[in-house]
Amino acid sequence: MTGGGRTLPDFENPPAVETLLGVRFAPLKSWQASHFGLFWNRIRDEYPRAEVHSAISSVETPVMFCFPEEPHSEFDVPIRCWFMNRNEATLIQIQRDRFIHNWRKREATQPYLHYDALRPDFERSWAQFREFLSAEGLGDPKVVECEVTYINQIERGQGWDSFADLPSVVTPWRGSESTSFLPDPSLVSFTSVYPMGAREGALRVGLQPAFRPADNKEVMQLTVTGLCRPAESTDEDILLSLDAARGWVVQGFTAITSSKMHQIWRRKL
């Protein structure tokens, strides 16, 4: 919840390493590669670094089957630009059909940035982007999807030592077989999708093994994504949709992780 007291589950030491707030909209038909640079000029004092990446495709988008994809033209610019602040912890990602605002944990001692702190930054940068589109005659974006994603990394040794311990980490995984033939798994990954039942939404949970680039430690990466469709493309309804998605992400994360892990992460609410 934003404003007032916190009502959602909360942890003193959550395993979150990245939080993402984003919107997907109908592709901007007049968008050209030069617009990336023009927009960067507007925010460069705050976001002095830029990188070019491949565009996120519909295949990569979680639960894209929930909503119809707008058709793309042959003139699409298949790139995505990252604009990063000075410590590279906050970044904006833009492509012709998406706007994403990220927080990333860059160092182990870096404090977790709560949604309530990140949401105003998204609101401000999204307003800047809409003003830019208007000034350049690119039209008002027709938003078809809002997204909140939390990426969590659970280190080996923090509640688990092998994949046989997975049932005591995440509740959907029971790790049981009908016979005793199989040994403990050496690798586990899974994806599950839950309908939200409101705002035409869905919650996607994915778990996969990974090695953290910063220190090469083995982790289980647990990604929880809430997607929902705003009734209108107004800022008010977009923010309401993001709040709804965030509520599902936090409640969903708490539901699929065990009470044992909640103790390790020092659950407060």
Q: What is the pLDDT of residue 160?
A: 97
- Strands 79-84 and 90-95, by their bridges, are antiparallel
Q: What does the DSSP 8-state code read for residue 170?
A: B
219-247 per-position pLDDT tens digit:
999 999 999 999 999 999 999 999 999 99
Question: Per this entry, what is the length of the chain?
Answer: 269
Q: Where are the domains of the chain?
A: 16-264
Give the contacts of 126 (CB within 8 A, at least 6 positions apart): 23, 99, 101, 235, 238
CA 151 centroid distance within chain: 7
pTM confidence score = 0.90
Give tens-digit pLDDT for 175-206: 788 888 989 899 999 999 999 987 789 999 99
What SS3 state is found at 151?
strand
| Calpha distance 74→69 (Å, rounded) | 15
Residue pointed to by tokens 């409640």: 251
